[in-house]
Amino acid sequence: MTDPGTRRSDQLPEGKIPPRVLRQVLDRLGGSADLDPGPASGEDAAVAAAGSEPRIVLAADPITFPSAEPGWHAVVVNANDVAATGGEPRWFLSSILVPPGTDAARIVEIADGIRAGCREVGAVPAGGHTEITSAVRHEVVAGAMIGVATPERVKPSGGAREGDLLVMTKGIAIEATAIIATEFAEDVSRSFGPEFQERSARFLKDPGISVVPEARIAARAPGVHAMHDVTEGGVATAIQEMVEAAGLGAIVEEAKIPHFGESARLMNRYGLGILGAIGSGALLIACSEAGADGLLRRLKEAGIAGGVIGRFVPPTLGILLDRGSSRQDLPRFEADEITRLP
């Protein structure tokens, strides 16, 4: 019998599958005593624990939207997942799928991007698969990163403790800013000028979507209990995943959530909620109050912006957004805000 949540008439929106469906998928996959953490909602990677020293960290993520550098992009987002679990990226596998009509030079260009991305994060390309197929309308690079971590540096998304502070690096909607500025280049240039468009399109590299440097710092910092990479669904979704994985609640101060002026202007221009826009480049960290000053100092010394945006609280309080004069539930986004673009 087909489960009610997966019957054929239950059409799903573009983007991450809803939590109710994800739970069914994870139930089908099952778990393993060899994995800690294993496949779970909100976890960035699985960690192979049994008989392994150091631990093996496993992550997989595709680039499914148009990207000027899908090979490089795939390496970075997969390295982020490994690093956000406390691992060091080591080996990258890729499945490159391109539509008929793609020329050989473009395939080589994608491979060059994979090589450049691996060099940037300290990994090596370990092969994979390349195919021309009518199953895709544009280039898709599905990647898997394998890394290593010593046991004390494994920081699962669900490792936060009650009373921990919620620290965030850089700013929100970094990746969304670059995507919008690239996909709607003409309109963005008309609305804000070509210099603004070019600067926003460069957000993939500056401030950048990699969180590997800050994750390396946080994994070694005393008092850090958990990390989570902000990706599809934006910072609101990432906070909810991290909090729910820990079985806690949280109070987040809206005024302390950092963002760039370019991001805010583009979100306003296209009527998108900045809290729900894809946000690779920001890392969430759960850190004890005693360790927070040391963590922030280490980040600052490395030239990485970071600040406290909230606190983990008992689960009975829920996940609240403090707006100064009022508190409300942190917004939930069924799909990433950029999927609402025409």
CA atoms of 76 and 60, how far apart (whole Å): 11
pLDDT tens string 284-337: 999 999 999 999 999 999 999 999 999 999 999 999 999 988 999 999 998 899
The structure tokens listed for 239 are 């906070």
- Which segments of 99-248 are extended strands (E)? 124-132, 140-149, 165-169, 224-229
Indicate the fold that domain 165-340 takes in CATH.
Answer: Phosphoribosyl-aminoimidazole Synthetase; Chain A, domain 2 (3.90.650)
CA atoms of 3 and 12, how far apart (whole Å): 15
pLDDT tens string 131-190: 999 999 999 999 999 999 998 999 999 999 999 999 999 999 999 999 999 999 999 999
pLDDT tens string 106-135: 999 999 999 999 999 999 999 999 999 999
For residue 238, how many C-alpha atoms fall within 13 Å in the half-sphere facing its CB? 29
Q: How far is CA 115 from CA 97, 111, 209, 261, in A?
A: 17, 6, 17, 32
In sequence order, the β-bridge partners of residue 321 are: 252, 328
pLDDT, residue 30, reads: 67
Q: Which phi and psi (to 5°) does residue 16 adopt?
A: -55, 145
Residue 342 CB: number of other CB atoms within 10 A?
Answer: 4
CATH class assigned to 31-153: alpha beta
- With vertex at residue 188, the alpha carbon angle to CA 268 and CA 341, rounded to the nearest 5 degrees, is 60
Domain boundaries along the sequence of the chain: 31-153, 165-340
Lowest-pLDDT choice from 22-26, 232-236, 310-314: 22-26
**Better-predicted residue by pLDDT, 15 or 46:** 46
Q: How far is CA 68 from CA 9, 48, 118, 183, 210, in A?
A: 35, 34, 17, 10, 16
Continuous H helices in 230-327: 234-246, 261-269, 289-301
- With vertex at residue 220, the alpha carbon angle to CA 218 and CA 226, rounded to the nearest 5 degrees, is 50
Given a cut of 80, whether residue 49 has pLDDT beyond it is: no
Given a cut of 70, whether residue 9 has pLDDT beyond it is: no
pLDDT band at 2 (very low <50, low <70, confident <90, very high): very low
